[in-house]
Structure 1
């Protein structure tokens, strides 16, 4: 049985004829009769009987019609509860991010949504390989994910929007011989010992591109995903590394230099299951993520303009703070 069939039975008990029910529900009498037959097929006893030319409810039919009132009431309460849930502005919204995105986006989110009536954030770090991010949308409302510029798109099962297209620069110790150059080429860096990420993370594909462009395989000295650790290892002379330009905290002993000759850029995308965006609170958090991304890119643009006038120092002497 379904809600529509129960309502028809209830209306039949109140209105007294199939034609009257059809008029009330704006359907044909044959459609009403068909639904009554389908309902009857699920019951072990007759629900209706003929009295002359009229179809009336049996005792069992009257009992089920009375129960239908409770069913409709419960369903209406359920609909109201869903509408209230969808429309609540202060509902909890769970957000997961890989480490460097969390470091960049979590603080502005917390500040922007701190007032009364705002969504309640439940933040989590999830540093996974690119292919595993879509699965996280089962557990979280919004997922900040990374992928390279020309990587395959996310699967159609998730909704995706790009927040940032972030350059990946070469991080060097401040006293490194290459730090005097404003821009580096694959040949400049291919012979250096590298600190890079584990398999499955987008930075590694850029290392492969450097190898192809330079015609030699770089030496991968260390495999470290956490950029805070990478920054310290670079500063200590353990090698050079690729680090994101924008989602970074300053490190006094490092310089960043842009890399030419290869595509060295990653996307920071926000993923979710499409139905999650029906919630007002989720849409509010999405809007704040976009505002934060805009602020990050505008801030960096201003710094780069100044850095170009000052031989690149202000832009490129930034590194540190978070993982892929």
Structure 2
């Protein structure tokens, strides 16, 4: 059994197809299949099965993939022993985040790192994905900023380290002159009769709006579906629709909005850093995590 074979099996569990594994590892699908076949020769129990035209892991394959995480982590710790010993701070780190957190945090994180005498080589990107797709991004990025509603299922535990960053209230956003802006808090019944701007289905604002409709016991009128919070804020500020926006990363910075908490419902999202455990052995990654925490603390202090 070779480390490369365990890495291939792990990526097949995470990404779901031989083609996706090949693209991520920069090899051909045939090379991936050969690694899986070589690993299979070590075991009598089948590790994979055909699912339509795709190759999927059996329960035994998933068990081996999860066990392989510990092996990969141990080897990563060994590979990074010299870097850890020397406390190298200048390694390259890739960070991905969803749009609103990138707009609010990326500049602050770069400023935090700029103040260090030696800093990581940080590479930033953004990904607009639904909640269940965030964990798979750790196959392509060292650190992934992810969000989920407080009451939604937790992130998968296998092969993933979750670093909590913030619990962010999601407020009702109104135009400054809206009649409901005179109230200090709003219930689902208060807002159920309004026209709404929300996200596409499968993203957290729309999931939360479904809870508002359920508690108000009536359907809501959705006038616009927009995923970008900056665009949502501009539509709300123009009047004619209200929305739900995160308080720290979006709401306090948007002009022309009145933010009001939503009562009677858990209107909070978690912002977490997702990473593979072996990445945290690197000093450069640790420094970026520290910068993220400091930048988020400053954002919360400004918005509270």
TM-score by structure 2 length?
0.70
- Structure whose alpha-carbon radius of gyration is higher: 1
1:243 aligned partner: 245
**TM alignment of 1:71-82, pairs within 5 A:** 82=80
CA–CA separation in structure 1 for the residues paired with 2:189 and 2:221: 13
1:111 aligned partner: 111
Deviations 1:112-150 (A, max 9, x none): 111441111101111210000001101110000010001
1:145 aligned partner: 146
- Residue 85 of structure 1 contacts residue 91 of structure 1 at CA under 8 Å; is this kept in 2? no
- For the residue of structure 2 that corresponds to 1:182, the secondary structure is coil
- Counterpart among 204, 218, 221 of residue 216 in structure 1: 218
**TM alignment of 1:89-104, pairs within 5 A:** 89-104=89-104
CA–CA separation in structure 1 for the residues paired with 2:212 and 2:228: 21
- For the residue of structure 2 that corresponds to 1:276, the secondary structure is helix
- For the residue of structure 2 that corresponds to 1:283, the secondary structure is helix
- For the residue of structure 1 that corresponds to 2:253, the secondary structure is coil
CA–CA separation in structure 1 for the residues paired with 2:110 and 2:292: 11
For structure 2, the residue ranges without an aligned partner over 5 or more in a row are 3-76
- For the residue of structure 2 that corresponds to 1:137, the secondary structure is helix
CA–CA separation in structure 2 for the residues paired with 1:232 and 1:272: 34
Residues 91 and 180 from structure 1, CA distance in 2 versus in 1: closer, same or farther, beyond 3 angstroms?
same
Give the count of matched residue pairs. 225
- Residue 206 of structure 1 contacts residue 262 of structure 1 at CA under 8 Å; is this kept in 2? no
- Offset at 1:225? 0.5
1:194 aligned partner: 196
1:68 aligned partner: none
Hey, which bits of structure 1, 4+ residues long, moved more than 6 A? Answer: none
**TM alignment of 1:170-209, pairs within 5 A:** 170-209=172-211
* Cα RMSD, aligned residues only: 2.1
CA–CA separation in structure 2 for the residues paired with 1:165 and 1:251: 19
Deviations 1:208-252 (A, max 9, x none): 111111110111111100011111111222410000111125333
- For the residue of structure 2 that corresponds to 1:166, the secondary structure is strand
Deviations 1:260-311 (A, max 9, x none): 011111001100011110111101111121222222223333xxxxxxxxxx
- Offset at 1:85? 4.7
CA–CA separation in structure 2 for the residues paired with 1:250 and 1:109: 17
